[in-house]
């Protein structure tokens, strides 16, 4: 895909992975439309020479207004996401619903709206948690499993639209503050951004970051339960042991 005159919309773009994606896209020559609940997204867009606006991915009218800020969005990157960490039986009331509203319904809403308005490539930043469910991330993993299931079906139905998933392991952002990374090194937002740009250029349904994690996922699927349990113990982080005190600021801002 040529980058000249191609506009890419990025949700959750004010910081972290979203901001890194925006910078990588501009470096590659794309025009960008950036959205976030954080008003600083407008400043980032201005810095990059793009367009920015407030966006609540849980609200259809907000999404429509945001998409209308530019003549056309050729590519959409569903990046907005939130995560609560802790024991499943200690999760506060309503937190699972909030995660589902952003992580699942927000991405589905964006996909359908962008496809109806002519976008031909839609990239969703999901997670390896679409396949692997770490202890301490029960509801978060459920939202990512749901997203994978929906995308598998929708890609067969949305004619002419390339649906792509980028599935990173733990990334060094505020969403993952205080958590462990398991058997692989913690990623940088720039590594995920690089994968997103490559997928836009050459679309494929699933891209694991790092790529070798795809082997782990395939092996886990073939093992008997005892083997799965052993692999989980060695490679998958147990987030019930995360530093929950360090996470309080993030979760009070994003999930309260």
* Distance (Å, whole) CA 91 – CA 198: 37
For residues 252 and 244, is the Cβ–Cβ distance under 8 A? no
Peptide bond into 219 cis (omega under 30): no
The structure tokens 């496809």 sit at 115
pLDDT for res 1: 56
Domain ranges of the chain: 7-254
pLDDT for res 183: 85
Per-residue pLDDT of the chain (256 residues), as tens digits, is 578 799 999 999 999 999 999 999 999 999 999 999 999 999 999 999 999 999 999 999 999 999 999 999 999 999 999 999 999 999 999 999 999 999 999 999 999 999 999 999 999 999 999 999 999 999 999 999 999 999 999 999 999 999 999 999 999 999 999 999 888 899 999 999 999 999 999 999 999 999 999 998 999 999 999 999 998 888 899 999 999 999 999 999 999 8
* Distance (Å, whole) CA 55 – CA 249: 22
Torsion of CA 250, 178, 142, 154, to 10 degrees: 70
Which of the four CATH numbers 3.30.110.30, 3.30.930.10, 3.40.50.1100, 3.40.50.720 does domain 7-254 have?
3.40.50.720
The structure tokens 């790092």 sit at 210
Question: Among 30, 131, 140, 250, which one carries the catalytic annotation?
Answer: 140
Residues 6+ positions from 69 with CB-CB distance below 8 Å: 33, 51, 53
* Distance (Å, whole) CA 178 – CA 130: 21
* Distance (Å, whole) CA 14 – CA 54: 10
Residue 140 is a catalytic residue: yes
């Amino acid at each position: 895909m040529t980058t000249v005159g191609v506009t890419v919309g990025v949700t959750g773009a004010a910081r972290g992975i979203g901001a890194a994606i925006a910078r990588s896209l501009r470096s590659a020559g794309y025009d960008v439309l950036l959205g976030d609940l954080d008003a600083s997204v407008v400043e980032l867009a201005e810095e990059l020479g793009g367009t920015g606006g407030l966006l609540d991915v849980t609200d259809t009218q907000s999404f429509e207004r945001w998409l209308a800020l530019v003549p056309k969005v050729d590519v959409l990157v569903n990046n907005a996401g939130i995560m609560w960490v802790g024991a499943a039986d200690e999760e506060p009331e309503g937190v699972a619903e909030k995660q589902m509203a952003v992580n699942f319904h927000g991405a589905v809403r964006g996909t359908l709206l962008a496809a109806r308005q002519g976008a031909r490539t839609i990239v969703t930043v999901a997670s390896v948690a679409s396949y692997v469910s770490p202890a301490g991330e029960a509801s978060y993993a459920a939202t990512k499993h749901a997203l994978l299931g929906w995308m598998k079906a929708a890609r067969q139905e949305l004619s002419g639209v390339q649906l792509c998933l980028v599935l990173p392991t733990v990334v060094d952002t505020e969403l993952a503050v205080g958590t462990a990374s398991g058997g692989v090194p913690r990623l940088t937002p720039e590594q995920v951004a690089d994968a997103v740009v490559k997928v836009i250029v050459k679309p494929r349904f699933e891209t694991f970051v790092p790529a070798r994690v795809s082997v782990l996922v395939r092996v886990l699927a073939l093992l008997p339960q005892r083997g799965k349990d052993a692999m989980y113990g060695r490679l998958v982080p147990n987030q019930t042991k995360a530093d929950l005190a360090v996470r309080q600021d993030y979760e009070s801002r994003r999930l309260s």
